[in-house]
């Protein structure tokens, strides 16, 4: 939940009910704003409401949180049963440090419902901002991935061309040494035939009968 534009008027004092816009006086006809004076002195059980005929009516109310982050009624009833004074209980309930995560800075002249609508609007704006930021990050990541794939493709092409050149060079090397080996074999065969011919001729010369 957003803190609300009024949060900077309560530095270091967030999370208490007395300065939270969600605190209200709940009566039979609905929610009423808790005026600034009532927030400090703990008078929470009568709401002064203008009537249709121009007078101010006092309506019975009870303290309540419109987002139900705190159960004021139970806290109050428990302590009344112990004999504590209502106004003293009200002051203590409103000023108790709660570190409430639902706290929303109070703006004078706005009802609890108006504060809630305001908080929802700010939350929606924050979600939309985050969605835009996430969308932008996704686009940037997609571009980086595309560039990386392009680099990988170029590297793969270089590797393929290098492999082809190596295969070609290996083929030339193999062919060259095949010819050399074939030539050596022919030379060896020629020498063997020559040696055999000399041996035969020598034998024939020595074996010729004497007349």
- 211: confidence class by pLDDT, cuts 50, 70, 90: very low
- 150: confidence class by pLDDT, cuts 50, 70, 90: confident
Q: Provide the pLDDT for residue 16.
A: 87
pLDDT digits (tens, 9 = 90+) for 33-68: 999 888 888 888 888 777 766 777 788 888 899 999
Cα–Cα distance, 125 to 132 (Å, whole number)? 11
Whether 33 contacts 24, CB under 8 Å: yes
Query: Is 164 a residue whose pLDDT tops 50?
Result: yes
Residue 52 CB neighbour total at 10 angstroms: 6
Whether the model clears a pTM of 0.85, i.e. scores above it, the answer is no
Average pLDDT over residues 145-172: 82
CA angle 137-143-146, nearest 5°?
A: 140
Query: Is 152 a residue whose pLDDT tops 80?
Result: yes
- 8: confidence class by pLDDT, cuts 50, 70, 90: low
- 200: confidence class by pLDDT, cuts 50, 70, 90: confident
Q: Provide the pLDDT for residue 3.
A: 53
The residue written with tokens 């680099």 in the block is 151
- The domain ranges of the chain are 5-132
**Position with higher pLDDT, 4 vs 52:** 52
Q: Provide the pLDDT for residue 9.
A: 56
Q: What is the mean pLDDT of the chain?
A: 82
Query: Is 151 a residue whose pLDDT tops 90?
Result: no
Query: Is 7 a residue whose pLDDT tops 70?
Result: no
Residue 174 CB neighbour total at 10 angstroms: 10
Whether 56 contacts 50, CB under 8 Å: yes
Average pLDDT over residues 163-185: 77
Cα–Cα distance, 33 to 57 (Å, whole number)? 15
Give backbone dihedrals phi and psi of 65, rounded to 5 degrees, phi first.
-105, 125
Cα–Cα distance, 115 to 122 (Å, whole number)? 11
**Position with higher pLDDT, 163 vs 110:** 110
Burial class (CB in 10 A: 0-12, 13-18, 19+), 165: exposed
Q: Provide the pLDDT for residue 57.
A: 78
């Amino acid at each position: 939940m957003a803190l609300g534009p009024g949060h900077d008027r309560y530095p270091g004092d967030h999370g208490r009910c007395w300065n939270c816009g969600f605190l209200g006086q709940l009566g039979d006809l609905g929610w009423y704003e808790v005026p600034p004076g009532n927030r400090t002195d703990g008078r929470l059980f009568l709401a002064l409401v203008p009537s249709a005929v121009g007078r101010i009516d006092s309506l019975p109310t009870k303290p309540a949180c419109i987002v139900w982050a705190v159960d004021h009624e139970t806290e109050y009833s428990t302590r009344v049963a112990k004999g504590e004074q209502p106004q003293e209980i009200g002051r203590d309930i409103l000023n108790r440090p709660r570190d409430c995560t639902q706290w929303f800075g109070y703006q004078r002249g706005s009802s609890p419902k108006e504060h809630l609508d305001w908080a929802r609007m700010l939350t929606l704006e924050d979600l939309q901002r985050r969605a835009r930021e996430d969308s932008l990050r996704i686009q940037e990541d997609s571009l980086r991935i595309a560039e990386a794939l392009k680099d990988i493709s170029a590297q793969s092409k270089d590797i393929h061309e290098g492999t082809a050149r190596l295969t070609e060079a290996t083929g030339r090397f193999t062919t060259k040494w095949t010819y050399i080996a074939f030539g050596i074999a022919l030379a060896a065969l020629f020498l063997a035939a020559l040696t055999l011919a000399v041996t035969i001729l020598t034998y024939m010369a020595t074996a010729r009968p004497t007349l």
